[in-house]
A and B are shown apart, each in its own frame.
Chain A
Amino acid sequence: MTFLCAECGNYTYFECDVQVHRSVKPTKEGLIVEDATFDDFNWSDSNIRDGLEDSVGYALKQSADVLQCNPDTGHYENTLITCARCGSKRVTPPYSKWSPKSYKSVCKEILENREEFKNLRKEKNYYANTLPVLWEP
């Protein structure tokens, strides 16, 4: 589950606005608007896919940045992703990785993994300690 709509519980279908570049070719009959292509590469298709992945990735990673409080409703709304079922903008990742109950400090985690790190250090090869080999023809 990546996103969850707080209104209807939908976690599958969403909407997102992306910018697509399209090709405009003037002809005698009028304008021909079609996908922008360069050789075999379809730039318009790539725009949609990349834009969508960027928006979804950004909304997941920086979820606090894309949430904006609506003073009328008092709810936080997603500025990028909208629910495709009910049209609500109350779309958020369903959980937060940070939780006050399961919070563990980095120092504590390092101490807990001390033995594992010691073992790793034994396995590590220190090439920097070996003497340089002289070049021979």
Chain B
Amino acid sequence: MQIHCRSCGNHKGFVIPLWVRATFKINEDGPLSILHTKQLESIEEKLTDQGKTSYALTCQECSGDAEITFNEYEKLNTRSREKHALEGL
């Protein structure tokens, strides 16, 4: 899997927004206490939707949209297959 930013080419750090359900306690005197957090969204689903229905994953450096290549060898396989086919002809 390869991820790179479409704007700046960064391939190291990205940011993804996720909804979480926080259980909290209201204290009579003082700030709120957080007791528990539960993730509501699947990171896998968001990543597979990236570029199709949404651009949730963004570059940590420039906030540009990230592009995910799940199988970077796919192109190589296609090229070699095409090459073999041409050779066969």
The B20-75 residues at the A interface (CB cut-off 8 A) are 20-26, 31-32, 34-35, 37, 40, 43, 47, 57, 60
Which partner residue on chain A sits nearest B28 by CB separation? A1
For residue A26, CB closer than 8 A to chain B, the reply is yes
Q: Are A48 and B22 interface neighbours, CB within 8 A?
A: yes
Given known contacts A23-B13, A26-B11, A52-B32, is B26 in contact with A12 (CB within 8 Å)? yes
A side interface size, CB within 8 A? 29
Q: Are B34 and A24 interface neighbours, CB within 8 A?
A: no
A binding-site residues for B, Cβ under 8 Å:
2-3, 11-26, 30-31, 33, 36, 48-49, 51-53, 56, 84
B binding-site residues for A, Cβ under 8 Å:
1-3, 11-26, 31-32, 34-35, 37, 40, 43, 47, 57, 60
